[in-house]
Structure 1
């Protein structure tokens, strides 16, 4: 298979899953769609726990010291969150979702109807919520980063094939509740995974195992935030925490050099 095939397949599964979810969602009562979303949130918590367990990776402890990994994850989340908040990444992602909604859907007035302002606002919020939630789930996990980098490095796209399968089923569940906003998240998949694949292609294998473990642990923490959003426990600004994925390997490198 060609480099980038994993991202192409992922986009296809998101679009197909979204179509199936929209078709299915109209036939499901609200309480059933809520249960589906809750189930997806719980499974996301499970995936997050598995990823966050990388903080216990022996290689990371050997490279940075036994007490450092947890502090590195904490530092990455705090510093990344400060940077993301300063850049208002969460607000920008929401704005991107609203822009996609305007471009990809027909609003009531454009369809020749008078339209009700309150109903239109609900539709927009639902589209944006689906876009934001799906974008975060599809693009913040360790499989996104590691799979895309490995694909670009020419090591195969098996991780992205697995991710594409999981995302396809997740898209069905999301779209059954949120509608076509989930399909718009395919744009985010193209940008994020495509960009990381290009990074792997150009830069080569630059991240040692310890750095990758720290990145995976931080990715797991961010997925906990996604799960809390899905479960309506807290509206964590996960997008503003995304810079933590860059800060984590930098902190590992700093600790290694200072030892």
Structure 2
């Protein structure tokens, strides 16, 4: 958990610095910076998504994950949590909720969040999360300067999300082979592309509702022997 704790603290510290800088940045500069961030997030997402070597699994995971997410209304719940935080901080106009949701998704579903948390839980190696902490800390300065205090609260989401992955990694050790981790990271990259569309206001995509997709390669790995058996039976019949 040490890597996740450091990561959360880095976001808080960077976010607070960003808030100090926010008042001195004109609105037109903030708009330009956000567009630049959106383009950067798009590139990061594409780089991750292109690593997939099982495109059918990626498509299946996104579709089924989206259905699961819609059923349990992850996006609505995350938005409501952001609005609740907004109410407690006395801020208005949805600024806190937007910053919280956007930053939480960016910091949680990237490849480094998944791989780093798994390494931390499986081997006790926190180096990936330390590197992620540095990147998140720097980016949180920029995000907070444009999106506001909601970015700071995203540290809690990162702590819970990565913490759960770290704690459960040991129990799922035999399923977390290289192929599974790669596909989980690729799906996370594709979801980050969706976030970039939201930032750039190209199309509103309920990325949070697709979060279950990230973990479906684990289910695929668990059921793979069944699929192989069914395929063998069909082959013998025909």
TM-score, with structure 1 as normaliser: 0.83
Distance 1:149 1:159, change over 3 A: same
Give me the whole-angstrom Cα distance separating, in 2, the residues matched to 1:130 and 1:173: 12
Q: 1:137 aligns with which of 102, 106, 114?
A: 106
Superposition RMSD in Å: 1.6
Are the equivalent residues in 2 in contact too, given 1:211–1:253 (CA < 8 A)?
Answer: no
The alpha carbon displacement at 1:173 in A equals: 1.3
User: What aligned pairs does 1:156-171 form with structure 2 within 5 A after superposition?
Assistant: 156-171=125-140
The alpha carbon displacement at 1:11 in A equals: 1.1
**Is the aligned partner of 1:93 residue 2:93?**
no
Tell me which residue corresponds to 1:79. 64
**Is the aligned partner of 1:102 residue 2:102?**
no
User: What aligned pairs does 1:181-200 form with structure 2 within 5 A after superposition?
Assistant: 181-200=150-169
Tell me the matched-pair count.
228
Distance 1:218 1:256, change over 3 A: farther
TM-score, with structure 2 as normaliser: 0.90
Structure 2: gaps spanning 5 or more residues: 229-238
Give me the whole-angstrom Cα distance separating, in 1, the residues matched to 2:225 and 2:51: 17
Give me the whole-angstrom Cα distance separating, in 2, the residues matched to 1:213 and 1:154: 18
Secondary structure of 1:55 counterpart: coil
**Is the aligned partner of 1:41 residue 2:26?**
no
The alpha carbon displacement at 1:121 in A equals: 4.0
The alpha carbon displacement at 1:195 in A equals: 1.1
Q: 1:50 aligns with which of 44, 47, 50?
A: 47
